[in-house]
A and B are shown apart, each in its own frame.
Chain A
């Protein structure tokens, strides 16, 4: 299993500002995934963060809005830039093990006012 720590656990931010979310995994992983869960909705994959290369973004998500860093095999950050109230969501970091099980951090609950 993998233990994932996310910081901050929650934040309230002013529109137009940016927030960086950190994700730390207790083991080395090749890929880390960032998801968004909007209120009352399912998880939507934002991007896949690969160590040593650019992140791969899903349709509807762009690097300028959600820049990602992946400096090593246990750590990643997701920045939510130029925030608007529509960005209010839970942001989750995830890794998938060799036996296919996905593990999730507890999430970052973001409210933009």
Chain B
């Protein structure tokens, strides 16, 4: 079964500082990995995804993540935090191939301090 673990339920950064949200996965097959963002009282939005190919993937709003098989990690980064980045971020995993169910991590709430 696929699963993801997000380290840190709450992360605080100063505006302009590096954002690093950690995600480790467990999978018996090469997984597909995702980061979703949820702004307060809004639905989920896909930030980025890794399926195959280049291990460094770039997403919307300046975020990127790197798939590291040796570390079973898919950490999310952004060089410079903006106030509008304050939200909850979910790492997620699925089996390879289309139409598969997606399993979510417990989420990390990002606070950006002015």
**Measuring CB to CB, which residues of chain A are less than 8 angstroms from any residue of chain B?**
29-31, 33, 41-45, 48, 92, 94, 96-102, 104-107
Q: Which residues of A contact B107 (CB under 8 A)?
A: 41-42
Query: Is the pair B103, A99 in contact by a Cβ cutoff of 8 Å?
Result: no
Query: Is the pair A42, B46 in contact by a Cβ cutoff of 8 Å?
Result: no
7 contacts between A and B (CB under 8 A): A31-B99, A31-B101, A33-B102, A42-B107, A45-B103, A101-B49, A102-B92
| Other A-B pairs beyond A92-B43, A102-B36, A104-B44, 18, CB < 8 Å | A30-B99, A31-B99, A33-B101, A33-B102, A41-B106, A42-B106, A42-B107, A43-B44, A43-B104, A45-B102, A96-B99, A97-B98, A98-B98, A98-B99, A99-B51, A100-B51, A102-B46, A104-B43
What's the minimum C-beta distance from B113 to chain A, rounded to whole angstroms? 21
Q: Which residues of A contact B34 (CB under 8 A)?
A: 100-102
What's the minimum C-beta distance from B48 to chain A, rounded to whole angstroms? 10
Q: How far is the CA of A100 from the CA of B105 in the complex (A)?
A: 17
Q: Which residues of B contact A48 (CB under 8 A)?
A: 101
Query: Is the pair A100, B90 in contact by a Cβ cutoff of 8 Å?
Result: no
Q: How far is the CA of A105 from the CA of B44 in the complex (A)?
A: 9
Q: How far is the CA of A48 from the CA of B105 in the complex (A)?
A: 18
Given contacts A105-B43, A107-B43, contact A100 B98 (CB under 8 A): yes
Cβ of B24 within 8 Å of any chain A Cβ, yes or no, is no
